[in-house]
A = this chain, B = another copy of it.
Amino acid sequence: MPDTSLRHRIHEIIFEADTPAGKFFDVALLALICLSILVVMLESVSEFNENYGTLFFYIEWFLTIVFTIEYGLRLWVTINPVRYALSFYGIVDVLAILPSYLALFLANAQYFLIIRILRLMRVFRIFKLGQYLTEGDQLMKAIAASRNKISVFLFVVTILVIIIGSFMYLLEGGSNAGFSSIPRSVYWAIVTITTVGYGDITPQTRVGQFVSAVVMILGYAIIAVPTGIVTTEIINTKKDVSTQVCRYCSREGHTSDAVYCKYCGGRLNP
C-alpha cells in the first residue's frame, strides 16, 4: 500500500519536527503565518491599503489556499480526523481559513474585519515548534499555582476601584467633565491604580488631587502583592528537591543530583 506509506510520510512531515523535512515544514509554516498576520495588520493602514490593496488581496488568497490544503492534509493523514478537528489546534486551523471564505458572501466590510481578527489565532500554532515549551510549562505551573491568590487580589482591587471611583465622582463630578459618571470614574481609578496614567481624565479640585495622591501611593504599595505571589510560586517550582529517601537513615531533602545521602553517607536508590 504505497498510499499508506505516503500518508505516513506526510504525517511525519506535518505533525512531527524530528526529521529535516518536518523541521523545514514547521519553519516554513511559521513564516507564512507571520506573513499572514503582517498582511492583515498592514491592510488596516489606509495608506498602505490604497497602494498595495491588490497585492494584499492576492497574498491573502494564496495563504488561504495554502492553509486550506494544509488543513485538508492534516485531516487526511491523522488516524482519527474527527478527534483532530475537535482538538484546540484543529479548531484554530479552521478559524484561520474560514474568514476569507465568509468574506465572499458577506460583502459588508465592517463584519468582514471583525472575522479577520480570528486569523491572529494562527500564531498559537507557533507553539508547536516549542523548544521553549519546558520553560513555558514552568511559568504556567507557577501562574496556575498562584491563581487563587491572584483572584482574591483582583477581587479586592475591583471593590477598591469601584469605591474610589464613586468617591471621586462625588468629589469631582460636578465641576469636571472627566468624572461625569461612576463608570467613567471607575475607569479613571483603574487607570490610576495600575499606574498607567493616561491623563485623559485628571482631578481638578484640591481635594480630588489629594485623594488621587493617596490612591497612587496605595497603588504603589499594593503593586507589590501580585509580584510577591508570583515570585514565591516561581521560586517554589524551582526548589530542586527530589523525593528520594535514604534507605539507611530515612532522611529526605536530597537534591536531584545527589548519589549518596548527605546526612549518613549511605548510597541512595537510583
Evaluate contact between A152 and B139: CB separation under 8 angstroms. Answer: yes
Of B153, B258, B263, the contact of A139 (CB 8 Å cutoff)? B153
Evaluate contact between A258 and B252: CB separation under 8 angstroms. Answer: no
Evaluate contact between A227 and B216: CB separation under 8 angstroms. Answer: no
B residues less than 8 Å from A236 (CB atoms): 238
Cα A157 to Cα B66 with chains together (Å): 28
Q: How many copies does the complex hold?
A: 4
Evaluate contact between A194 and B170: CB separation under 8 angstroms. Answer: no
Evaluate contact between B254 and A262: CB separation under 8 angstroms. Answer: yes
- Describe A's contact surface by its main secondary structure: helix
* A87 interface contact, C-beta 8 A: no
Evaluate contact between A257 and B259: CB separation under 8 angstroms. Answer: no
B residues less than 8 Å from A257 (CB atoms): 251-253, 257, 262-263
What per-residue 1/0 map shows which CB atoms of A174-195 lie under 8 Å from chain B?
Answer: 1000001111101100111111
Identify 18 new A-B residue pairs, CB closer than 8 A, beyond the known A199-B200, A223-B223, A250-B270.
Answer: A117-B167, A120-B162, A150-B221, A187-B213, A190-B213, A193-B220, A194-B216, A194-B219, A197-B197, A197-B198, A225-B230, A231-B234, A232-B234, A251-B259, A253-B257, A257-B257, A257-B263, A259-B265
